[in-house]
């Protein structure tokens, strides 16, 4: 019954979680509100807040899981990809904790962990399955052959889906992070109100930069004609933009799943918290007779629960790293 302490600090959320025999017993996430004033994550500020949050987050995770630090069998941490200064805080904490408690260390790839969040709750997808991972920094269609055998078959050539959400919200004058606010407004609007273009990108890759530019010009022209345009039509704009982002994602996912003959379809990453995307994928899976897997909200956005679960499966494989491990801003899968 391995007890794993998971640590996540790749961007602006400090998180600690405990898994016992592959079951998540606690998942504490300390968000950083400081970045809202700057319209995006300020890396230096993120590192400093991680330093303040990491010990209280771990203490709370141990309390919530009703375990003591002496019960822990291994420490799993996000090695990358992410902001180097942010990663450094989590990696340094994990190394110090492991050294003090004489425990093995397990490195985890943040993007693989988003996929492995599907092994936290039932029902679990069966290998091979296809996962659309959509976060603030990544948009990937992944063919998941085994826990740590994943192939990226499509990805964004420029902005990530979350970045497209956040940049659109910035154009609309909404505070950071904009994804959840677009979601909120979109629920009240008409998704057919405005038509935004779908890019023509080969294979299973994505591009969102053209969409961003078209939104920018659309808003500029309409605000010039009517200064109240944004106030009057905010819900319809958000609904239409969200709908286009969702259709871009789902059209590619459908194409990939059909080409590879996969019927277990999963969604991961922060943008999978989006209501329109969750509904859209659920409807697509019903129509195609596919099995649809969408994690609970708390395991969609950045969290240490997914790090602990990835750590659990690596622990079973005896896959450990030494104290000389360093964080990686960019980190390939294998
Ligand atoms: O996976 P994540 O928490 O962090 C990264 O690894 O990037 O993803 C964060 C992204 C942000 O771009 C945020 O705006 C977006 O997920 N997001 C959403 C929603 N909740 C978070 N986008 C749309 N609708 C949401 N409800
Ligand atoms: Zn993430």
How does pLDDT run across 234-286, given as a tens digit for each residue?
999 999 999 999 999 999 999 999 999 999 999 999 999 999 999 999 999 99
pLDDT band (50, 70, 90) for residue 320: very high
Look at ligand 1, atom 22, and give the residue with the nearest C-alpha.
179
Look at ligand 1, atom 24, and give the residue with the nearest C-alpha.
274
- Cβ 298 vs Cβ 27: under 8 Å: yes
Give the tens place of pLDDT for each residue, 163-173.
999 999 999 99
Give the tens place of pLDDT for each residue, 42-95.
899 999 999 999 999 999 999 999 999 999 999 999 999 999 999 999 999 999
Q: Which ligand is nearest to the CA of 31?
A: 1
136 lines ligand 1 (CB under 6 A): yes
Q: Which atom of ligand 1 is nearest to the CA of 269?
A: 1
274 lines ligand 1 (CB under 6 A): yes
Ligand 1 centre and the CA of 316: distance in Å?
A: 31
269 lines ligand 1 (CB under 6 A): yes
DSSP 274-311: -HHHHHHHHHHHHHHT-EEE---GGGTSS-SHHHHHHH
- Cβ 78 vs Cβ 10: under 8 Å: yes
Testing ligand 1's pocket by substitution, the residue of 133, 140, 165 carrying the most ligand atoms inside 8 A of its CB is 165
179 lines ligand 1 (CB under 6 A): yes
Q: Using CA atoms, how far apart are residues 189 and 236, in angstroms rounded to an integer? A: 4
115 lines ligand 1 (CB under 6 A): no
Q: Using CA atoms, how far apart are residues 108 and 19, in angstroms rounded to an integer? A: 15
Torsion (CA) 282, 15, 9, 185 in degrees, nearest 10:
40
85 lines ligand 1 (CB under 6 A): no
- Cβ 16 vs Cβ 54: under 8 Å: yes
Look at ligand 1, atom 10, and give the residue with the nearest C-alpha.
136
86 lines ligand 1 (CB under 6 A): no
**Between the CA of residue 251 and those of 27, 256, 258, 287, what are the distances in Å?**
33, 9, 11, 13
SS3 per residue for 203-221 = CCCECCHHHHHHHHHHHHH
Give the tens place of pLDDT for each residue, 181-207.
999 999 999 999 999 999 999 999 999
pTM of the model: 0.94
Q: Using CA atoms, how far apart are residues 18 and 7, in angstroms rounded to an integer? A: 9
More confident residue, 307 or 333: 307
Testing ligand 1's pocket by substitution, the residue of 136, 137, 249 carrying the most ligand atoms inside 8 A of its CB is 136
């Amino acid at each position: 019954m391995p007890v794993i302490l998971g640590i996540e600090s790749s961007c602006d959320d400090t998180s600690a979680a405990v898994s016992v025999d592959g079951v998540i017993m606690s998942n504490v996430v300390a968000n950083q509100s400081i970045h809202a004033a700057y319209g995006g994550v300020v890396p230096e500020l993120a590192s400093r807040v991680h330093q303040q949050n990491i010990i209280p987050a771990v203490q709370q995770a141990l309390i919530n899981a009703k375990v003591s630090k002496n019960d822990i069998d291994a420490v799993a941490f996000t090695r990358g990809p992410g902001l180097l200064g942010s990663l450094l805080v989590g990696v340094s904490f994990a190394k110090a904790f492991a050294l003090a408690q004489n425990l093995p260390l397990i490195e985890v790839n943040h993007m693989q962990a988003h996929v492995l969040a599907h092994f936290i709750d039932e029902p679990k997808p069966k290998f091979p399955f296809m996962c659309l991972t959509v976060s603030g920094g990544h948009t990937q269609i992944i063919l998941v052959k085994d826990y740590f055998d994943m192939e990226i078959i499509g990805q964004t050539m420029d902005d990530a889906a979350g970045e497209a959400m956040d940049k659109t919200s910035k154009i609309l004058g909404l505070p950071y992070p904009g994804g959840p606010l677009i979601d909120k407004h979109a629920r009240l609007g008409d998704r057919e109100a405005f038509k935004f273009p779908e890019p023509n990108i080969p294979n299973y890759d994505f591009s969102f930069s053209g969409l961003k530019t078209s939104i920018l010009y659309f808003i500029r022209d309409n605000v010039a004609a009517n200064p109240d345009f944004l106030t009057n039509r905010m819900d319809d704009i958000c609904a239409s933009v969200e709908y286009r982002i969702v259709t871009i994602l789902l059209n590619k996912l459908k194409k990939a799943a059909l080409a590879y003959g996969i019927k277990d379809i999963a969604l991961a990453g922060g943008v999978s918290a989006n209501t329109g995307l969750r509904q859209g994928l659920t409807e697509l899976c019903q129509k195609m007779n596919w099995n649809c897997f969408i994690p609970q909200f708390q395991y969609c956005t950045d969290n240490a629960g997914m790090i602990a679960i990835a750590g659990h499966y690596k622990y079973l494989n005896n896959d450990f790293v030494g104290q000389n491990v360093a964080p990686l801003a960019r980190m390939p899968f294998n």
